[in-house]
């Protein structure tokens, strides 16, 4: 390539980067909560202490109560009921409690106290539940990683709703356009997409790299056949396709563009035959009913 052409390419790339940086600066990415920083610091110790973690969580009365409520829910509580944060940690394990706290902190940071995004968070919690179930059944990821990915999978959506007045319209278009990919439509209208923004938040919050990369690729179905991508990331993406299918069925929606796009490569990656998929979705459906 001639020197002038190389220089021009570099200048264009730099310009595109500056435009992208300016866009990202205009989107409100909540900073990592100090409580999460303290939790992650303790978890990074060679021998993290449940008592110290309980003390960190206990400094926020609202978070403590919300964690106990979640820990004692039908999905997590089983026969034992935790009466303190330390008991909840002992019952569920350090990593699972940290995953639950991370989700609670995300809701607090993004939704505030007005509850305007209740339906979004309900769907996120349902997806997290489905991903934990699928990951346990197929043994593809630790429960806390699956849970966090499920909660944060679409975390870019409320951030883009806050940034762009017409983003709700974009979501509606993307959900009905069979010809173009979901994130391609977002990119065309807003020069970014919820997967990229969600990945950025996950990285800024110090979440697992598997979680942040799976968020980035969760609508990128060709990645499921890309052997250069880590298997753990592809497995999370594949499981998310099954989870979304399960949620749609639970809500009585027969058709799904995302299942038509990603269902076949997801099942192929997970090594599932059609009858195994149906059995898994039936069990997931039953799990959803049991939880209510």
The C-alpha atoms of residue 159 and residue 27 are separated, in whole angstroms, by: 7
pLDDT at 28 > cutoff 90: no
CB of 117 within 8 A of CB of 151? no
> 22 or 107: which carries more pLDDT confidence?
107
Sequence-separated (6 or more) residues with CB below 8 Å from residue 103: 124, 125, 128, 147, 148, 151, 152
The C-alpha atoms of residue 203 and residue 42 are separated, in whole angstroms, by: 18
Take residue 7 and report the two structure tokens written for it: 């220089």
pLDDT band at 14, cuts 50/70/90? very low
CB of 195 within 8 A of CB of 217? yes
The C-alpha atoms of residue 28 and residue 15 are separated, in whole angstroms, by: 22
pLDDT at 274 > cutoff 50: yes
pLDDT tens sequence across 137-188: 999 999 999 999 999 999 999 999 999 999 999 999 999 998 899 999 999 9
CB of 43 within 8 A of CB of 94? yes
If 0-12 CB within 10 Å is exposed, 13-18 middle and 19+ buried, where does residue 30 land? middle
Residue with tokens 């699972």: 96
pLDDT at 251 > cutoff 80: yes
CB of 85 within 8 A of CB of 104? no
pLDDT at 235 > cutoff 90: yes
pLDDT tens sequence across 179-226: 899 999 999 999 999 999 999 999 999 999 999 999 999 999 999 999
The C-alpha atoms of residue 73 and residue 68 are separated, in whole angstroms, by: 9
Check residue 271 and give left, alpha or beta (phi > 0: left; psi -120 to 50: alpha): left
Hey, is 154 helix, strand or coil? coil
Take residue 234 and report the two structure tokens written for it: 């592809």
pLDDT at 2 > cutoff 80: no
- What distances in angstroms separate CA 135 from CA 191, 205, 238, 239, one per listed residue? 33, 23, 10, 7
Q: Structure pTM?
A: 0.88
Cα-Cα-Cα-Cα torsion 44, 69, 129, 246, nearest 10 degrees, comes to: -160
Take residue 121 and report the two structure tokens written for it: 């968070």
pLDDT of residue 19: 56
pLDDT band at 292, cuts 50/70/90? low
- What distances in angstroms separate CA 237 from CA 131, 240, 264, one per listed residue? 10, 5, 13
Residue 230 DSSP code: -
pLDDT of residue 13: 37
């Amino acid at each position: 390539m001639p020197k002038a052409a190389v220089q021009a390419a570099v200048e264009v790339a730099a310009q595109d980067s500056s435009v992208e940086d300016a866009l990202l600066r205009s989107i409100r990415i909540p900073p990592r909560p100090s409580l999460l920083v303290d939790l992650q610091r303790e978890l990074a110790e060679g021998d993290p202490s449940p008592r110290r973690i309980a003390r960190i969580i206990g400094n926020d009365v609202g978070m403590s109560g919300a964690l106990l409520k979640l820990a004692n829910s039908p999905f997590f509580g089983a026969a034992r009921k935790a009466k303190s944060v330390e008991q909840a940690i002992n019952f569920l394990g350090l990593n699972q409690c940290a995953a639950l706290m991370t989700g609670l902190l995300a809701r607090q940071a993004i939704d505030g106290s007005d509850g305007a995004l209740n339906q979004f968070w309900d769907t996120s919690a349902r997806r997290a539940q489905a991903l934990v179930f699928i990951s346990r059944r197929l043994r593809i990821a630790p429960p806390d990683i699956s849970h966090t990915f499920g909660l944060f999978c679409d975390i870019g959506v409320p951030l883009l709703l806050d940034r762009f007045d017409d983003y709700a319209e974009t979501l509606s278009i993307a959900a009905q356009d069979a010809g173009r990919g979901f994130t391609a439509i977002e990119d065309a209208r807003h020069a970014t997409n919820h997967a990229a923004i969600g990945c950025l938040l996950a990285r800024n919050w110090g979440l697992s790299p598997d979680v942040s990369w799976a968020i980035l690729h969760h609508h990128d179905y060709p990645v499921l056949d890309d052997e250069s991508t880590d298997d753990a990331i592809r497995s999370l993406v594949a499981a998310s396709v099954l989870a979304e299918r399960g949620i749609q069925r639970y809500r009585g929606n027969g058709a799904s563009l995302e299942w038509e796009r990603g269902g076949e490569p997801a099942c192929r990656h997970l090594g599932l035959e059609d009858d195994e998929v149906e059995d898994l979705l039936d069990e997931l459906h039953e799990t959803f009913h049991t939880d209510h």
